[in-house]
Amino acid sequence: MKTDKGKIVLFHPHVPESAIHAVERTLRTRWIGQGPRVEEFERRFSDRFGSGRPAVAVGAGTDALHLAYILAGINEGKEIIAPVLTCAATNIPLLYVRAKVQFADIQPRTLNIDPSHVRGLVNEHTAAIVCVHYGGLACDMDQLGSIALAWGIPVIEDAAHALGATYHGIPVGSLSDFTAFSFQAIKHITTGDGGMLTIKQNSLAEKAKRIRWFGIDRTSEYVGMGDNDIEELGYKYQMTDIAASMGLAGLDELDQVLALRRKLFEKYKEELEGVPGIELIGGDYTDREHAAWLCTIVAENRSDLQRKLSDNMIESGQVHYRNDRYSIFSGLRKELPTMNALEDRYLSLPLHTKMTFGDVERICSVIRSGW
């Protein structure tokens, strides 16, 4: 969004006007914690993205991932193949469960996890494959699914970028054993912060709902301390009705949000076509529909370009970084040729609903002028 001084920011939250009124209505009811709005949000989300699979609303996308790892039986010593380029939230919950992370390289044209490297890493100790749909473009799910099937292990999708994305016409959320979504401040739908987990196996849904509330079955009537017990470790991961009321309003506007973001992404593609030293990531796939959360380019002399954009009051940034550089993953760094080659070259440009086509033209004009 341009400020009074004309700056174009990298991100901006999209909060529908109807969400503001929905929150106000919720605040005037009996339920402001987890209540009927959460259940309604889960039902509608399941219908839209999960093909009727159970959807469990939680307090953050990170909560959803942690639940998925627990439900998948991942625990101490299990090896998990995971993407090296992602928000740290993808991989930090693997440390919660004391798993051993095996970082996989990325594809140069998508920045998604590379199935060919996954195939070389998987072994009899591998317990799951984790993938992230970078920027909103689905991974090569056929290949990842084939590898997982051959080894009898689940695929766990981090779809924080990919609300509304499809793969061969199937919505992300209906493809794998577990899919985690984020409703953090700058996502397609925001609930301030929040998340959702879709689950292939119906029998795991009730367990997920217990774990998100301290391990307590909230559907059972409380009959006194002597007759109630907590039999499994749980967490305080529930969503509130305040957040769910925002999520429901966001669902109502999602088609318009997706349409605008995709048109802005296509405008970038058109404006940057043939520009020397620039490659747009994920812009030429017809077998999957992009959710257009990020617009990322690979640029020669990235630091010079970023400085040029900043001088013209245009924000840009890397957004996510290779996780094997963080101290918490000490000892896990390995030679990843594609990640090594692109580490100093990828750059995300502004993409959000407060932008206009004129903003994209201005950004691309600055890029075309050289750096």
Give me the number of domains the chain comprises.
Answer: 2
Q: Are residues 31 and 174 in the same domain?
A: yes
Q: Do both 242 and 266 map to the same domain? A: no
pLDDT at residue 227 in the model: 63
How far is it, in rounded angstroms, from Cα 266 to Cα 59? 33
Q: What is the mean pLDDT of each run of 10 residues along the chain (371 residues)?
A: 73 98 98 97 98 98 98 97 98 97 98 98 98 98 98 98 98 98 98 98 96 89 62 96 98 98 98 97 96 98 98 98 95 92 98 98 98 96
Q: What are the DSSP calls for 338-370, one per residue?
A: HHHHHTTTEEEE--STT--HHHHHHHHHHHHT-
Tell me, yes or no, whether 75 and 114 share the same domain.
yes
For residue 222, the model assigns a pLDDT of 52
- Alpha helices by DSSP H, listed for 273-336, are 302-311
Cβ burial 51-87 (10 Å sphere, 16+ → b, else e): eebbbbbbbbbbbbbbbbbbbbebeeebbbbbbbbbb
Burial of 194 (0-12, 13-18, 19+ CB in 10 A): buried
Check whether residue 166 and residue 93 sit in a common domain.
yes
Q: Are residues 82 and 200 in the same domain?
A: yes
What pTM was estimated for this model as a whole? 0.95
Q: Burial of 365 by CB count in 10 Å (0-12 exposed, 13-18 middle, 19+ buried)?
A: exposed
Q: Report the DSSP beta bridge partners of residue 317.
A: 348
Domain containing residue 349: CATH number: 3.90.1150.10
| C-alpha closest to that of 321 among 85, 158, 83 | 85
Q: Residue 74's domain spans which residues?
A: 17-250
Per-residue pLDDT at 3: 44
Residues 264 and 244 in one domain: no
pLDDT at 224: 54
Q: Can you tell me the distance from the alpha carbon of 194 to that of 252, in angstroms, rounded to the nearest whole number? A: 17
**243 and 113 within one domain:** yes
User: What torsion do the CA atoms of 107, 109, 110, 112 make, to the nearest 10 degrees?
Assistant: 0
Task: Sort strands 288-289 and 195-199 into parallel, antiparallel or unpaired.
Answer: unpaired
Domain final position from 250, 283, 315 = 250
**In this structure, are 190 and 275 located in the same domain?**
no
Tokens standing for 50? 């999960």
